[in-house]
Structure 1
Amino acid sequence: MTDLIYQTQSYQQQMTATVTAVDEDANGVYLSETIFYPGGGGQPADVGTLTDSSTGTVYNITSAKRGNIHIIEGTLPVVGTEVVGQIDWDRRYKLMRTHTAMHVLCGVVWKDYGALVTGSNMDVLTGRMDFEFERMQKELVQEIEARINEEVANAHDVEIKILPREEAFQIPDLIRTKINLLPEGITEVRTVNLVGLDLQACGGTHLKNTSEIGPIRVTNYKSKGGINKRLYFELEP
């Protein structure tokens, strides 16, 4: 089993681990522990490097994937090699800002308008979310933009917990998506709580406080058919 450091320590930028297995077909390695987020929930996977502790050989990680395999460019280290992992922190931190901004947006839209999320995606400092709105107009978008920036400035602490499934599902409105995406076989649920604003199940990496997000600008909106309305946003560099 791999120790998934990123689940509870999203600010950790480096770790020492052992290569426990290799997958030559995927050109990847499994590690005893990892800080590399494998992607999911719309958040891209981390990239970075592994450095052989003995020889200094550097291996570029081009992606991490579900099952915690780390895809490497070129030759693979052998099983038993001790390596130092380093994530691309500038990119990761911007993704953390973006993902936390999405929770602010989700929290405001749910709290103020009662609209469920029907889809989402994100990249570095940009993202989009789809909601169940019957109508969307410029005045409403401006109102939402003002509200989400108020909540950023309110400096909500962000708390991460991993709960037994039964306990997690006793939390009202834990699932904000139109469809519950959590498979029945999952026994533990990771929750992200923007204290006083938004509490929901999520596997991604987040900030410690919403004040780190910075200003959010809603750049566009459009109808995606029926009652699905899409909001696009971006953050400052």
Structure 2
Amino acid sequence: MTELICHTDSYIRDFTAQVLVVQADQNLVVLDRTAFYPGGGGQPYDAGTLVVDEQTLTVSKVKRQGNDIVHQIEVEGEDALQLPQVGAEVTGYVDWERRYRLMRTHTALHILCGVVWRDYGAQVTGGNMEPLKGRMDFEFEALRQELVQEIEAKVNAEVESGRQVVVRNLPRAEAFEIPDLIRTKINLLPEGIEEVRTVEIVGLDLQADGGTHVANTREVGHIRIADYKSKGRINKRLHIELAP
């Protein structure tokens, strides 16, 4: 099982690890621990590099494979690629600029979700993100320009309030005693999960979540609702953008 370091500390940019598995035919490497986020919950996977024996390998994709985190090594041209041997020690470097932008974006979407749930009681029906951009769908019957402007003002007030963001891992039974922990229309947590990771924006929002986040809402910066659309009778989409 790969230890997912970023689940306990999203700010770790580099790490050392040992190679557990090498799938040479597919250029895949499994490590005993990693700070690369494998994607999920609407947040894309991380990119970066692995350094071993003075060779720098580009990590182009990261994904879950059972209990392991698999690192896809990029191959360019016809140059022979020397994958590390099982048991070798590697140093990983996360593409920090991209990761931090995703952290800010993910927390921004939780701020948006928290405000909409608190003030309008609307559930989330979907969402996605890329660095500095994201969208979230809510169960709104109607969404007008005036309401969108009101929501934008409220989310930016929460940004400026400097709320702490706290991550915890709770036993499943304890986590599900928390009211409204699951904000999505469908509970996406599989039955087999015994421990639930929660992300709390203190005083605003508390959700089950597996992604990476900033430690304080001020780090998010100004949130602009760039667009809004109707995706059905009671399904409305809000697009957000953040400053670089």
TM norm structure 1: 0.98
1:214 alignment partner, one of 211, 216, 221: 221
Distance 1:25 1:64 in 2: 17
State the one-letter code of the partner of 1:9.
Answer: D
Give the corresponding residue for 2:74.
73
Give the corresponding residue for 2:235.
228
- Match status 1:197 vs 2:195: no
More deviation, 127-136/18-27: 18-27
1:95-114 equivalences under 5 Å are: 95-114=102-121
- Match status 1:56 vs 2:54: yes
1:175 alignment partner, one of 175, 182, 206: 182
Structure 2 unaligned blocks of 5 or more: 76-80
Distance 2:240 2:133 in 1: 6
Q: Secondary structure at the match of 1:44?
A: coil
Give the corresponding residue for 1:21.
21
- Match status 1:149 vs 2:150: no
Distance 1:66 1:209 in 2: 28
More deviation, 15-24/108-117: 15-24
- CA drift at 1:77: 1.5
State the one-letter code of the partner of 1:142.
Answer: Q
2:132 alignment partner, one of 122, 125, 132: 125
State the one-letter code of the partner of 2:188.
Answer: L
- Match status 1:46 vs 2:46: yes
Identity of aligned residues (%): 63
Distance 1:26 1:167 in 2: 41
Distance 1:189 1:108 in 2: 23
Give me the CA root mean square deviation.
Answer: 0.8
- Match status 1:186 vs 2:193: yes
Q: Secondary structure at the match of 2:39?
A: coil
Distance 1:87 1:26 in 2: 21
More deviation, 112-121/15-24: 15-24
TM norm structure 2: 0.95
Q: Secondary structure at the match of 1:62?
A: strand
Deviations 1:10-66 (A, max 9, x none): 0000000011101234421110110000001111100000001xx211110001101
- CA drift at 1:162: 0.7
Q: Secondary structure at the match of 2:196?
A: strand
- CA drift at 1:117: 0.1
Deviations 1:152-187 (A, max 9, x none): 001110000011100100000000000000010111
State the one-letter code of the partner of 1:48.
Answer: G
- CA drift at 1:201: 0.2
Q: Secondary structure at the match of 1:119?
A: strand
The total of aligned residue pairs comes to: 235
Q: Secondary structure at the match of 1:148?
A: helix
Q: Secondary structure at the match of 2:150?
A: helix
Give the corresponding residue for 1:137.
144
